[in-house]
Amino acid sequence: MTDSSGKTRNGAQKTETIRFDSTDQMVESLGANDQALRFIEDAFPDVQLAVRGNELSITGEGESVKRTSRLVAEMRNLVANNTRVTEHVLVQLISMLKDQTTERPSDVLTVNILSSRGRTIRPKTLNQKRYVESIDENTVVFGIGPAGTGKTYLAMAKAVQALQQKEVSRIILTRPAVEAGERLGFLPGTLSDKIDPYLRPLYDALHDMIDPETIPRLMAAGTIEVAPLAYMRGRTLNDAFIILDEAQNTTPEQMKMFLTRLGFGSKMVITGDVTQVDLPGGTPSGLRVVRDILDDITDITFMELDATDVVRHRLVSNIVSAYADWDESTRSSAQTSRTDRNTGAQR
């Protein structure tokens, strides 16, 4: 329950009181030794928090009190749904509340995709939830965004879910084997050994979602296939959940080749980061041009994720944002320099 009452303290002030059902619920919501409480005080320095029994009082300017009260209520809802309130969860809650979305953040953070080996895989931001929903609703989905936004990991979880629910009979995971710093010919081992490093991130994600002991059996039976993009040529992929990762490193011709492999009863998810193209200089990225070609086709959707959707270490989001700002500044400086040179030449 939440009670509100007006107060006069240093001007127009408002107090809202959040009542918890039990001491355990309060401790799980606010953290042992009130870690979450201190985090909230840092995030909202213009409100005062006071704990008495199973009640938390929030006092301050009206809008700040309202936002803080909603944050605590969302934390309480997460605890009620057996979701642990960590510092990262708090950051995501505050971000979603700032966006003033009509969706309750606690509803976003309690959508379960897959439970495996004692852990649950679920979206952790509003954009991630919409991305997962778009995979459910469309045959072909493009997930475009920087590292750490969960675009490949969530697609893998949806693929495993579809296999478990017998919506498809196999999973096909593929990546272009583009050289980035090392040439394939100089790597040791057989062709399979040379290609394996490019596919390793897909194997790593699989091991998070499926019992590692069963993966060799599923791969031997063809139920799960992990292969370079070149191996897709000439095939029609029916009754499959197909994921193309690192799609920014496809050429337009490779992207067309891949998309036209789609068969009956299949679903495709294409993921990539258009700021991380490793193709040789001058080669256009298939992921950059495909939107202009397919944007108006029904049952194909493009989902954009950004730095606010990064779910790795908090510094990763800051790094992604800093590089985006640097890229924008560099482009702006280059444009100004060209303009100055053109103006000088005209004189």
Mean pLDDT, rounded, for 106-110: 78
Q: What is the pLDDT of residue 44?
A: 84
Q: What is the pLDDT of residue 118?
A: 63
Q: What is the widest separation between alpha-carbon atoms in the chain?
A: 78
- CA 194/CA 131 separation, integer angstroms: 33
Residue 87 CB partners (closer than 8 Å, separation 6+): 35, 36, 39
Read off the pLDDT of residues 305-325 as tens digits, 9 standing for 90 and up. 988 787 766 676 678 778 878
Q: What is the pLDDT of residue 148?
A: 85
Cβ neighbour number for residue 129 with a 10 Å cutoff: 20
Select the more confidently predicted residue: 41 or 284: 284
Looking at this protein, which amino acid is placed at residue 232? M
Read off the pLDDT of residues 207-266 as tens digits, 9 standing for 90 and up. 889 988 999 999 999 999 988 898 899 999 999 999 999 999 999 999 999 999 999 999
Q: What is the DSSP letter of 262?
A: B
DSSP code string of 199-261: HHHHHHHHHHHS-TTTHHHHHHTTSEEEEEGGGGTT--B-SEEEEE-SGGGS-HHHHHHHHTT
Q: What is the pLDDT of residue 102?
A: 64
Residue 8 in 3-state DSSP? Answer: strand
- pTM comes to 0.74
- CA 306/CA 188 separation, integer angstroms: 37
* Identity of the highest mean pLDDT range in 55-59, 78-82, 98-102, 128-132: 128-132
